[in-house]
Structure 1
Amino acid sequence: MNLTDSFEKLDSLFEGFFEWLAGQYDPITGGFYYAKSSISDSSFTPDIESTAQALNILSRNELLTKMPVELRAKFVSFFQNKQDPETGYFLDENPHMKDDEVMVSRAFNYSVNSLDRLGGSPLYPSPVELNQAPHYVKSEEEYLKKWKSISLVNSWRGCDLLASSCMYIGQMEQEKQEKMIQIAAKYLESIQDPQTGLWGEGSMYVRISGTFKLHTFYHKFGLPMPRVEKMYQSILHCLRTETVKDMCYIRNPIDLLSYINVEIPSHELEEIVQITVNNIEKLKRPDGGFSREIDHSPSAPNVAQVKADEFYPDMPVAVHLGKGLYEGDMNAGTQTTLIRLQLHKLAGKKVIPIKGSRRFYELVENRLQEK
């Protein structure tokens, strides 16, 4: 299958996707639910990650500038209302969320970035400004000590914790920030596997996913990743030999390839795109969405990455967003739209909005009228 055929197949997989997306919108809060099963159960509410992911999908399809004023105001209010005035963190109603460092970091970044692109801003200062950040951010020595304490026996979870702690670096004054960045970069290079270009332990997909998590640190602070050629060969070997069972395993290698920007021979690019599209097809669901996992949508996506493959000594508390049914979920939905974008970038092809995306606001308006 050539590139043209692969891209045509990819776009065909999005049939019904924007109908599904519009169905996840909650006109009362202005947020989005994680999955269809979340809507019918009062124990679930629209959450920060799902709402920010929906916004990312709209942005990737050139819909932000066309957003109705009322809808934009709803989005802004949704994120602003999630911020705790005493700590500066953005938190959902689920009391267990604050116990997962990764979720806390993601929610902060998602909320601040979403407000910025919507023309809004947080109502209160950041955790660092309010002196609510963890003690380890107070000195370079404590920060490095924290990083060394994080187990990488499951590369995906461990590297996620490493990368998540970088949210505090972004809030520091410039001089201290620069020192922290240098220390972090030096430490990461010292523990990278020189043969594979990857970090930590676990299956190939787990290690590539961990390495992908660390790319967010390099990307955030404009640093090149070390040993990218080794990394590329590891990704290629993994795509050819390993079986995919999670949408993250499809997205993470492609996002990583896009960032490291190595030269990919045309025949290998065709192979990469074909494998990726075929894998996405396995996770398409009858409701129009895509699922994170091969057998079902994980009810608690924050623990899915840990329990799926390897033992991890410090399991996070599960934060349930849905019922774990065979259905589409917002986490997978945002990943598929990003994969599509990155594949076009890798192939040097111009990307246009997904067919049917223009109807999104009409679909949401219909939903509002139903209410």
Structure 2
Amino acid sequence: MVGGGQLARMTHQAGIPLGVRFRVLADTSSDSAAQVAGDVVVGDYRDLDTLKAFAAGCDVVTFDHEHVPTEHLRALEAAGVAVRPGPDALLHAHDKGVMRKRLAELGVPCPRNRIVADPADVVRFAEEDEGAAGFPVVLKTTVGGYDGKGVWVVRGPEEAAEPFRAGVPVLAEEKVDFVRELAASVVRSPHGQAVAYPVVESLQVDGVCFQVTAPAPGLSAGRAAEAQEIALRIAGELGVTGHLAVEMFETADGRVLVNELAMRPHNSGHWSIDGAVASQFENHLRAVLDLPLGEPSARAPWTVMVNVLGGDYPDMYRPYLHVMARDPGLKVHMYGKDVKPGRKVGHVTVCGSDLDEVRERALHAAAYLRGDITE
């Protein structure tokens, strides 16, 4: 797996009972996955020679992020390396402009969007194009963004210049009046087998995933099936191998619009480690290795996952003991990261039959670990 973050760490964990030997290309020896994997290469994923040396002897190469240059992935394939998902698919997660163009060709419902050339073009998109509704609009760098980085809500022409300073193409999108965010996760294998997880509700705070509820409360069976069908169709049309997370907006008028794609395990699927028969991490490995896929259904009526973000409380050991003692049914997952304000350092998960109780337990534990509460 290229990338040594928490996604690689949890993928490695899922591979242990399957007997999968796991090699990680990490930025540093202290990366989350590098702390636990037995076969670690420290190097720069942007360097082709490093990638080729890393891939030597691997049956399959997969990823915990979308930032490897597409030309490097094509070079690996040309050298006979099994790259999954392949570069033709992964390009749609790497480049938002390519993704939007392809989804439009497929007739997938998306927010109104187009590439904009400069701040004046942003004004034209907001006020003059067909369907324009004025400011605010959302601007995104087409490459390199994650966890709210590379995304701006622009409320007027005077705020439109900042995104262009990154020196990469900028995508403008309408600011959707949504009632909540959903995520539909599917997994697809090379021979075309595919499974779909329950559609979840995802709550974002400052552009970062904070809380996930599985399944999405109050979502009709028809709307859930529509979201799953969209995700399965995208996976098939783009030739995805492995896990695909499709982040969506549910609008007040009943529409579902595709927001983002991630072709790897995803924060919205962390609930599945404890809450599903086969987790997203296990099924991602099964898919990229072309093994039969595992059952994606939920183990309990409700599962709530809350991210633990770093705060001003760097020593988490004592609160770690407290939340375990207070709630033995709680599942705590820590990533081995130094605690910094706003940084994802772990998550907690609670499963049960009473949604209000499950949510309260998960929120309390995450807040205690962050240091927001002391009892």
Same fold at TM > 0.5: no
- What TM-score does the superposition give when structure 2 sets the normalisation length? 0.30
Structure in which a larger fraction of residues adopt helix? 1
User: Whose relative contact order is higher, 1 or 2, with alpha carbons under 8 Å and at least 6 apart?
Assistant: 1
- What TM-score does the superposition give when structure 1 sets the normalisation length? 0.30
